[in-house]
Amino acid sequence: MSLLLGINSNAMNATDVDENKLEKIETFQSENFSTRVRFIIIHYTSIDWENSLKVLTQERYGVSTHYLIPEDGDETYQEQVKIYQLVDEEDRAWHAGVSKWEERTNINDQSIGIELVNQAECSIRQGSQYDYTNNYVCLFSDFDNAQIEILITLLKDILSRHDEIKPTYVIGHSDISPDRKFDPGPKFPWKRLYENGIGAWYDDVTQKKYKKKFSSKMPSIGQIQCGLKKYGYGIEVTEVMDQQTFYVIRAFQYHFTPDKSNGRISIEMVSALWALLEKYFPETIKNDRLVGCNDN
């Protein structure tokens, strides 16, 4: 098949155009296009409004986000809570870093980043007795109600303009970088967002069905890794409970089973995962077992 390019017969010769003036070329709008945006990534800043704005706008810090939302009660912020846009949606903000979702990397290139001012804090523990399962201690803070309400308004607006953002593409920083990030943490109200038509969540009836089924026999670690991978997490199916699996399970729990988010396999976590797969990726389940993984 040949591709025919239309040429304007009235186009001027290069010598006829002033060298300091760019002549506009006639344009036509193709029906075959989509936006670069596939994901919405939600973060917390871990610092107050004043410092958040400084870090996210000054060149020396090398990070940015498309939107920043303060929280009520912050002593460095005296106005009514509202949305601040720091980077145009069409431009690439530097908020995701090394990241992966559904085999996609360079998430900065494909996402809108939203930072919420929230002073949660995670610090590393020192000492040989601490391994990857307990080497960090985190103090997570509740999110301000006014902040979440305005976030919901913003998310609805973004989703109305970007059809390519599927429910499973509204995720947190820890979902795409589970080995190094904790935000927005287990206190972020993902279910509340879902109840407002935003993002993904499992049906309680379906989770209870799998919880009952798995009470007698849990899926193997390979199947659990497979399920996390099929949902979108960047995990390799190794058949063993290793470091990468701990981080991914913890990120999943922060998102979907926040009351039990210690990075260890639980029946609540596995039944929620299977319920999500049945809802959003039903082709992956056959006779309650996942298909297309290494142990099938």
Active site residue 268: no
Q: Say how far apart CA 107 and CA 104 lie, in whole Å.
A: 7
Q: Say how far apart CA 99 and CA 105 lie, in whole Å.
A: 6
Cα 141 to Cα 46, 184, 262: the distances in Å are 9, 10, 17
Which one-letter DSSP state was computed for residue 126? P
E-assigned strand segments in the chain: 39-44, 67-69, 84-85, 100-101, 104-105, 111-116, 121-124, 136-139, 170-172, 285-286, 289-290
Cα 293 to Cα 114, 143, 236, 237: the distances in Å are 34, 38, 10, 8
Judge residue 32's burial from the number of C-beta atoms within 10 Å of its C-beta, 0-12 exposed, 13-18 middle, 19 or more buried: exposed
Cα 117 to Cα 48, 84, 92, 222, 235: the distances in Å are 6, 12, 21, 38, 29
Tokens of 65: 């986000």
The β-bridge partners of 121 are 139
Which one-letter DSSP state was computed for residue 52? H
- Helix, strand, coil shares, percent, the chain, to 5: 35, 10, 55
Helical pair 243-256 and 267-280, crossing angle rounded to 10 deg? 70
* Catalytic choice (115, 164, 239, 268): 115
Which residues are known to be catalytic? 115
